[in-house]
Chains A and B, each alone.
Chain A
């Protein structure tokens, strides 16, 4: 089985390389098709300056040549300098932002998954009770509420009215609210997923059999039921973690957290070509990896699943 798993991983990794190559190629050519460019501003720089900038970043060369140069750079691990943020290179900007987003998103993901699994299980166990109803109402509300509203409300309530948390990520305790805002949606979603799949599992015959055989209720729940109920959560968690650790524009803006999220958006607005490529490749790779991890985890949770 181990060699089978290894073969599967190799296969998936090969596929991943092809996918990333396609992402690079498509992004590269589509990005250059979008009108506008990195050197436009309300005040146009002089033609001499624009020409010098284009030469500096190789933008005066034919697209095919730019493309091959870029690919060669990537193979050497060089993502180039940011065109808009003069003097900074793409890797540094991404890594600095990722460090912050990872800390924030990682914590939020752990909280979301833990609370989600607990609340979802509780709701399923006490199906139709008052606990179930409260959990469902709250999570439905949070799933429906866009993050900018949640974050703004938290800001208003805790920073302005109560004044118990700082309103920016720089100050001690400043990351608490951003983490809460980031985790609410995935937590609610995980709760709902866990609840429905738990309900499904709890009505299965083997659970009834286990109970009839006198297995301890806690063991029934955690060993037999949760393990099987967790599969949909794993499917969801992979991409969710990839997204959450690469930062959220809204939460970063509202709480002034210097994460990676805003680089995605500002790079596109600025037509910062190297930064667009860098962030896209980074996010793409991360998602592919996380999906691979969740696929492997299926196997761990449910050995019946055949990979490959």
Chain B
């Protein structure tokens, strides 16, 4: 009897403790006009589906502030807690398309009398934040200016580059002070808060796509202004998306259905739990024992086995990105060579690579051998034809070399021929009848960060080049040091990778202009600035600034989509002509999704959409 009594007592205590946990004092009311957040009526549970789903898309995120986030997992959380003017939805065939989310319809850019282009978004009626307050066009004005302002220091602030006013906002004087600290984007809200007008200096065909990007989500001024910590706690993290955050701890992010979402009826599952986990063995174990119904990472060496063991749950999706090797065009080791010879040598080195072997034996994740820098998945102006079907020097989609395993022999012969040309014209080394270079050929120094895959690829390249008598050393650096060395151009050859931000090739080509912070190959800098061997619209004898940089600025100013894409193909031709960018493969996105989980989908940017997903009970 005593025992039972004490057990009851313990249970009562436990429950009262648990109850205390739930009744944590609500934070100060965010807005005076909002009444003490009315407990939204508990949604009547949908019959036959699970109330809560646990998923994994990443580790504890550094931030889930829509402006500051630049990570793929962070973007996934944000698209559940926020909704933009434009969103993505899944088509019947499984592909994705843009649709007007908070906007009534997708606008097209209209040219004004002054030549500027205007996008007018009409907001749907009755839009609300997750705390029940009204959401207006002014909220977008605030959020966009906040994200674009350099003082906010958002990695993705440059996503507003295409909007009028951005250039003035970010202009700096020589002392790195902002010239116009009060400048604003040319974005205005109508007095009734129903209409948002955005002005662009020139039209960009992908503007609606940008507007669907997490950085373009609205942010509530009352919670965010002057409070750096607003996005770190559930009570201040006010969104307007299909879900609202109810718990944000170091181990999980819990979201529940947002009753105030304008399309709340389409949201069926009451609760999504995003578990944070950065260990691939652990995520796999959690998937295998049923804790997580979706995992976004698996151990690399298990990929093959998992594909066989879980044919219906293992997914490989295309992702906008290219894994490549970048050469420093100002590499000291090759300083005795002329740029033309250097380009030949680099191209030869690129042709020697057995990409099929790398993809099948090292990558093992369904990656696609790359024959161009701009990857598959990007489309021409018609929105259907792939950009890559028109790539290559002849514009026939053959790429810049063949990656067909049958052509490998031919590639190596071409590589040797190129090396001979460089040897003859430079006189600095020789190539014997077997295609072996003489000992005068400089040693390559390959820089990589730590990581099994990266190191395996480095070793593969080393072995490949050794067959031609070319010595390559491998230097491994820790991540941050590696980034620093590569960015500063203190290397000779380095592994590299790029993931696109939106479906437009400019996202891949813009990074190689002289002034870009991502111009790891140092094009147009140092010695390379003086080399005039490039062609601009048929005129040869141009420097990097006169050819590549000029074409990219024309792309950005172009109003004719056909011309724009022709220019981008031309830019890629110049880029690939240098041989300094040596693509290896196009990235893929691997994840596992339980057969129980229905209605989830992924975008080519790697974002995962769970708002329409359900699990049958």
Q: Can you list 27 A-B pairs, Cβ within 8 angstroms, ordered by A? A: A34-B480, A40-B484, A42-B483, A43-B70, A43-B155, A45-B153, A46-B158, A46-B517, A49-B153, A49-B154, A49-B157, A51-B150, A52-B150, A85-B62, A87-B65, A88-B232, A97-B250, A156-B285, A159-B285, A159-B289, A160-B288, A167-B285, A168-B275, A253-B279, A256-B251, A256-B282, A258-B250
Within 8 A of B (CB), among A233-257: 253-257
- Measured in the bound complex, the distance between the Cα atoms of B251 and A269 in whole Å is 21
Q: Is A80 an interface residue (CB 8 A)?
A: no
Given A34, A51, A86, A96, which contacts B68 in the complex, CB threshold below 8 Å? Answer: A86
Further 13 A-B residue pairs, CB within 8 A, beyond A36-B482, A56-B151 = A35-B481, A36-B478, A37-B484, A46-B150, A46-B157, A47-B172, A48-B170, A52-B151, A86-B62, A167-B286, A170-B251, A256-B277, A269-B479
A202 an interface residue at 8 Å Cβ cutoff?
no
Cβ of A171 < 8 Å from any Cβ of B? yes
A258 near B60: Cβ-Cβ < 8 Å = yes
Name, among A37, A45, A168, the residue most crowded by chain B CB atoms within 10 Å (CB to CB): A168
Please give the distance in Å from B521's CB to the nearest CB on chain A: 13
Distance of A96 Cα from B481 Cα, bound (Å): 29
Asked if B276 is at the interface (CB within 8 A of a chain A CB), the reply is yes
**Would A254 and B289 count as touching, CB distance under 8 A?**
no
User: By CB atoms of chain A within 10 A, which of B68, B252, B289, B485 has the most?
Assistant: B289
Chain A contact-residue range equals 35 or more
Residue contact A40 to B487, C-beta cutoff 8 Å: yes
Chain B 151-181 residues near chain A, CB threshold 8 A: 151-155, 157-158, 170, 172, 176, 178
Query: Is residue B278 within 8 Å, beta carbon to beta carbon, of the partner chain?
Result: yes
Least CB separation from A57: chain B residue: B153
Cβ of A284 < 8 Å from any Cβ of B?
no
Q: Which residues of B contact A87 (CB under 8 A)?
A: 63, 65, 228-232
Given A46-B150, A51-B150, A87-B232, do A258 and B249 touch, yes or no (CB 8 Å)? yes
Chain A minimum-CB-distance residue to B517: A44
Give B519's nearest chain A residue, CB to CB: A44
Nearest CB in chain B: distance from A31 CB, A:
12
* B381 contacts chain A at the CB level, 8 A cutoff: no
The tally of CB-CB contacts under 8 A between chains A and B is 146
Residues of B within 8 A of A44 (CB): 487, 516-518
Interface set of B (CB-CB < 8 Å, partner A): 60, 62-63, 65, 68, 70, 150-155, 157-158, 170, 172, 176, 178, 228-232, 249-252, 275-279, 281-282, 285-286, 288-289, 291, 478-485, 487, 497-499, 516-518
CA distance A254 to B499 in the complex (A): 28
A170 and B253 alpha carbons, distance in the complex (Å) = 11
Residue A106 interfacial (CB < 8 Å): no
Nearest CB on B from A86, distance (A): 4
Smallest CB-CB separation from A156: which chain B residue? Answer: B285
Contact A160 B285 (CB under 8 A): yes
Taking CB atoms, residues of chain A closer than 8 Å to B158 are 46, 49
CB B47 to nearest CB in A, in angstroms, measures 26
Q: Which B residues lie within 8 Å of A41 (CB)? A: 70, 155, 483
Write out the residue numbers on chain B whose beta carbons fall within 8 Å of the beta carbon of A35. 480-481, 484-485
- B480 & A271 in contact (Cβ 8 Å cutoff): yes
Q: Which residues of B contact A169 (CB under 8 A)?
A: 251
- Taking a contact as CB atoms under 8 Å apart, the answer to whether B176 and A51 are in contact is yes
Contact A167 B291 (CB under 8 A): yes
- In the complex, which of the residues A45, A163, A254, A269 contacts B478, with contact meaning CB atoms closer than 8 Å? A269
- Cα-based distance from A87 to B68 in the complex (angstroms): 10
Most buried by A among B478, B480, B516: B480
Q: Say if the beta carbon of A278 comes within 8 Å of chain B.
A: no
User: With A41-B155, A86-B63, A253-B278 given, is the CB distance from A258 to B251 under 8 Å?
Assistant: yes
Q: Judging by beta carbons under 8 Å apart, are A258 and B276 in contact?
A: yes
Residues in A neighbouring B279, C-beta threshold 8 A: 253-254, 256
5 tightest Cβ-Cβ pairs between the two chains A and B:
A36-B480, A258-B250, A44-B517, A48-B150, A253-B279
Q: Find residues 168-219 in chain A having any chain B CB closer than 8 Å to their own CB.
A: 168-171
The answer to whether B178 touches A48 (Cβ under 8 A) is yes
Q: Is A290 an interface residue (CB 8 A)?
A: no
Indicate if the CB atoms of B497 and A45 lie closer than 8 Å: no
A40/B150 in contact, CB under 8 A: no
Q: Which of A100, A163, A253 has the most CB of B within 10 A?
A: A253
Q: How far is the CA of A269 from the CA of B275 in the complex (A)?
A: 23
* Chain B residue contacts of A97, Cβ below 8 A: 250
Query: In the complex, which residues of chain A have a beta carbon less than 8 angstroms from the beta carbon of B251?
Result: 168-170, 256-258
User: Contacts of A253 on B, CB cut-off 8 Å?
Assistant: 278-279, 282
Instruction: Check if A84 sits within 8 Å of B285, measured CB to CB.
Output: no
Q: Which residues of B contact A168 (CB under 8 A)?
A: 251, 275, 277, 282, 286, 291
Known: A40-B483, A46-B158, A47-B172. A56 touches B153 (CB 8 A): yes
A221 is an interface residue with CB less than 8 A from chain B: no
Tell whether A228 is near chain B: CB-to-CB under 8 Å: no
Q: Which residues of B contact A45 (CB under 8 A)?
A: 153, 155, 157, 517
A302 CA to B417 CA, complexed, in Å: 83
- Is A81 an interface residue when CB atoms closer than 8 A count as contact? yes
CB-CB under 8 A from B250, the residues of chain A are: 96-97, 100, 258
Query: With a CB–CB cut-off of 8 A, which chain A residues contact B480?
Result: 34-37, 40, 269-271
Contact present for B282 and A167 (CB under 8 Å)? yes
Contacts of A100 in B (CB 8 A): 250
Q: What chain B residues lie within 8 Å of A52 (beta carbons)?
A: 150-153
Interface centre among A42, A96, A254, A256 (most CB of B within 10 A): A256
Is B62 a contact of A43 with CB atoms below 8 Å?
no
Chain B neighbourhood of A56, CB < 8 A: 151, 153
Residues of B within 8 A of A167 (CB): 282, 285-286, 289, 291
Can you list, as one digit per residue, whether each of A6-48 has a CB less than 8 Å from chain B (1) or not (0)? 0000000000000000000000000000111100111111111
A256→B56 CA distance, assembly (Å): 11
Q: Within the complex, what minimum Cβ distance (angstroms) separates B406 from chain A?
A: 34
The residue from A46, A96, A163 contacting B170, defined by CB atoms under 8 A apart: A46
Whether a CB of chain B sits under 8 angstroms from the CB of A152 is: yes
Report the minimal beta-carbon distance from A293 to chain B, rounded to whole angstroms.
29
- Complex contacts, B157 vs chain A, CB 8 Å: 45-46, 48-49
- Knowing A43-B518, A84-B62 touch, does A155 contact B282 (C-beta < 8 A)? yes
Q: Does A150 contact B (CB under 8 A)?
A: no
With A and B bound together, what is the CA distance between A253 and B251 in angstroms?
A: 11
Q: Using Cβ atoms and an 8 Å threshold, which residues of chain A touch B479?
A: 36, 269
Contacts of B278 in A (CB 8 A): 253, 262
A296 CB contacts on chain B under 8 angstroms: none
The answer to whether B178 touches A170 (Cβ under 8 A) is no
Complex CA distance for A291 and B62, rounded to whole angstroms: 34
Contact between chains at B60 and A36 (CB < 8 Å): no
With both beta carbons as reference points, the residue of chain A lying nearest to B175 in the complex is identified as A51
In the assembled complex, A142 has its CB within 8 A of some CB on chain B:
no
A53 interface residue per 8 A CB criterion: yes
| Residues of A contacting B170 in the complex (Cβ-Cβ under 8 angstroms) | 46, 48
Cα-based distance from A51 to B174 in the complex (angstroms): 12
Query: Which residues from A are CB-within-8-Å of B172?
Result: 47-48, 51
Q: How close is B145's CB to chain A, nearest CB, in angstroms?
A: 14
Q: Can you name the residue of chain B whose Cβ is closest to the Cβ of A257?
A: B251
Q: Which A251-294 residues have a C-beta within 8 angstroms of B?
A: 253-258, 262, 269-271
